[in-house]
Amino acid sequence: MFKHYYRSTSWKIGRFIFNSFAGLVLVFLITPVLIIIPLSFNSSSFLTYPMDDVSLTWYKAFFTSDTWMSALKNSFIIAPIATLFATVLGTLAAMGIAKTKFRGKMLFMSIIMSPMVTPIVITAVGMYFFFAQLQLTNSYLGIILAHTVLGIPFVVITVTASLRGYDDNFSRAAISLGASPLTVFRTVTFPLIAPGVISGALFAFATSFDEVVVTLFLASSSQRTLPMQMFSGIRENIEPTIAAAATIMLVSSAVLLLTIEYLRRRSERLRKPTH
């Protein structure tokens, strides 16, 4: 009995230490991010603590500035289109990888995943020289294609994970009833893997919406996105409007993460067998 009590107490102490350490790491990582939010409500013209007074001045400056609104508009033009391309291509690639066997499958998968592991500066330089040959630099199409390449790996990962839990008997049953492959995908496969597809699309959107390095290489001043404008503002003239823009992006990212978590839990519920 004493040995059992000793083990139970040791396990509780170890768990408490681990949870405390994990909490401290979380606080260390998230504090520099959250500290920008109060600064966005500062009435002062400088990013300093303590704050002089609470004000919405810099949010008003953000939404009334032609420069910031143009950057925001560009982000909402580029990111959704790049997300659509990445979702379609990534889903098709994931289905091909998961459902077929062919030589060089691992090499093909490594090539698709390479934008995630290659340093972003190297990727940006390579894209610049490649797109320059195609005369796609300083154009919306070039930026959209570049962001599509960056978003595809996230879609492939999430859709592949969803397909691992997919029962092929559903597709066989639909085919045996006379459904075409397109009908099977539209009415059977896609509804079951939709949480993975949507999660991948959200990751692709976040990747495109936050991307700055590749955009710096490919975009002209007229295609300047919100992260690119923030980078330029920090380098040239630091003002609290940047804090307001950063807060807006933080809130958007938080909403995306909550949506992804909801879809993940929904996907787990769908995979559980019902009796």
How do the domains of the chain map onto residue ranges? Answer: 2-34, 64-271
Kindly state which CATH superfamily the domain 64-271 is placed in. MetI-like (1.10.3720.10)
| pLDDT at residue 271 in the model | 57
- Backbone φ and ψ for 177, nearest 5 degrees, come out as -90, 5
Calpha distance 186→197 (Å, rounded): 13
What is residue 270's predicted lDDT score, i.e. its pLDDT? 60
pLDDT along the chain (275 residues), means of 10: 58 81 86 80 73 80 88 90 93 84 79 85 91 90 93 91 77 79 81 84 88 90 86 73 84 78 68 54
Query: What pLDDT sits at residue 268?
Result: 63
Which tens digit of pLDDT belongs to each residue from 197-234?
888 888 899 899 888 999 999 988 888 898 888 887 77
Structure tokens at 148: 């599509």
The rounded Cα 230 to chain-centroid distance in angstroms is: 19
Per-residue pLDDT tens digits for 51-89:
677 778 888 888 888 888 999 899 989 999 999 999 999
CA distance 204 to 215: 15
pTM for the complete prediction? 0.79
d(CA 231, CA 248): 15
